[in-house]
Amino acid sequence: MTAVGEEMHTLVERLYPLCRSITGDGVRATLDIVREYIPLQVYEVPTGTQVLDWTVPQEWNIRDAYIADSTGHRVVDFAASSLHALGYSVPVSATMPLAELRAHLHTLPDHPSWVPYRTSYYQPEWGFCLAQETLDALPDGDYEVRIDSTLEDGHLTYAEHVVPGQVSDEVIVSCHVCHPSLANDNLAGIAVATFLARALAQETPYYTYRFIYAPGTIGAITWLARNAERINGVSPARAEPRAGGSVRHGLVLACAGDSGQLTYKQSRRGDAEIDRVLRHVLTASERPHRVAEFTPYGYDERQYCSPGFDLGVGSLSRTPYAGYPEYHTSADNPDFVSPEAMADTLAVCREAFAVLDRNRRYVNLSPYGEPQLGRRGLYDSLGGRSDAKQSQMAMLWVLSLSDGEHSLLDVAERSGLPFDTVALAAGALHGAGLIKA
């Protein structure tokens, strides 16, 4: 996991300089790099496409932006950081006094050396983000301001990667690809999702896993609109269904690389299987963690959990959005995220999906009295294992609760035994013909 953590951090560093937004070439360049790690199916949805209650906006691209003083020196330069340009700025080329320019400048007075991240997606504005100390050092006078950008009909871009499973029913893993130079939010999420996909591809998972790389809000809404008929039979107008199983579970990954404790935000349901699995895994691992109730604010879990879809999709992060001072600032840089934290987030995802994949309901085929385990060699199969007593109890619990109504996770929670122990016991009982799925 140490080596994998270093690889994820390298991916974050490669993606960090790119200027991403909800549309544009920065998203495409990001997906091109991710494509070096895993295959991607990229989709382009034209401007003006109706997606549920939204419309795909015009595509934004930016080549350069700067504020220059009277000597031509660039006091603010987009080439130094993609955060310097207000996201979705309309083009501008003008000379104006500092007093007039101030209305278009964004700073963080409480953190004078940091540059904020600001956007104006759906209002035609232009502006610059800079450190307060930079602004304080600017003398009065005229400044040349230039934003070389375009806002015109184009496409919204998103991508998918699918890991085939034994069944077509799906688990979706979603991360947003619309933030510029911000390492924790959400390059760490992109990195963890990518390496999770690589890990699952080395296995034969039960569920099919669909990884979604999409811009925040409008990207998830676009994906839902184009896949609605595969979700609980929902058929809003203009849905564009594709082949695949129904979505059974899901997880949004964000803020996955800082040093804070893990936080799981539950789905709107609160009792979805993914909620129970994450609560169990985090508790059993004894990692410091927090389980948060659902709120209709945050990342794209709120789109997947909207009442018309009501998917069982939670969100896994370390420190949640807006929960750390560096959030949406230049201080959220590659030094702010660590290989160790990303590796730990990845490990929790793998542990959770291992539980999800093995969580079955069984029926006891010898339900009248306790079956004789000894003559079937089940006790002997435990040998000198140090956890033989625990494994024996797990067999008894599985037999007791295998009524077609209780899952192995139910058994683990009620018995207080580790899920792995319960799953191994179920495997042994199934092999002996005492239970069936």
Annotated binding site for Zn(2+): 179, 185, 328
CA angle 33, 222, 186 (to 5 degrees): 40
**Exposed, middle or buried: residue 398 (CB in 10 Å: 0-12, 13-18, 19+)?**
buried
Long-range contact set of residues 298-301: C-beta below 8 Å, sequence gap at least 24: 298/265, 299/176, 299/216, 299/252, 299/254, 300/174, 300/176, 300/214, 300/216, 300/217, 300/219, 300/220, 300/252, 301/252, 301/265, 301/267
The string over 113-151, giving b where at least 16 C-beta atoms fall within 10 Å of a residue's C-beta and e elsewhere, is ebbbbbbebeeebbbbbbbbebbeebeeeebebbbbbeb
- How many other CB atoms are found less than 10 A from the CB of residue 29? 14
Residues 408/398, Cβ–Cβ less than 8 Å? yes
**By three-state DSSP, how is residue 128 classified?**
strand
Sheet arrangement for strand 289-292:
41-46, 155-163, 208-214, 170-176, 247-253, 313-317, 262-265, 289-292
Residues 80/125, Cβ–Cβ less than 8 Å? no
Mention every residue, 6+ apart, whose C-beta is less than 8 A from residue 169: 207, 208, 245, 246, 247, 248
Q: Which residue in 124, 125, 123, 105 sits closest to 115, CA to CA?
A: 105
Mention every residue, 6+ apart, whose C-beta is less than 8 A from residue 380: 374
Torsion region of 433: left, alpha or beta (phi above 0 gives left; psi -120 to 50 gives alpha): left
Q: Which residue in 198, 179, 196, 192 sits closest to 339, CA to CA?
A: 192
Sheet arrangement for strand 435-436:
403-407, 361-364, 435-436
Residues 114/108, Cβ–Cβ less than 8 Å? yes
Residues 231/307, Cβ–Cβ less than 8 Å? no
Extract the tokens encoding 155.
């496409």
Specify the amino acid at residue 106: H
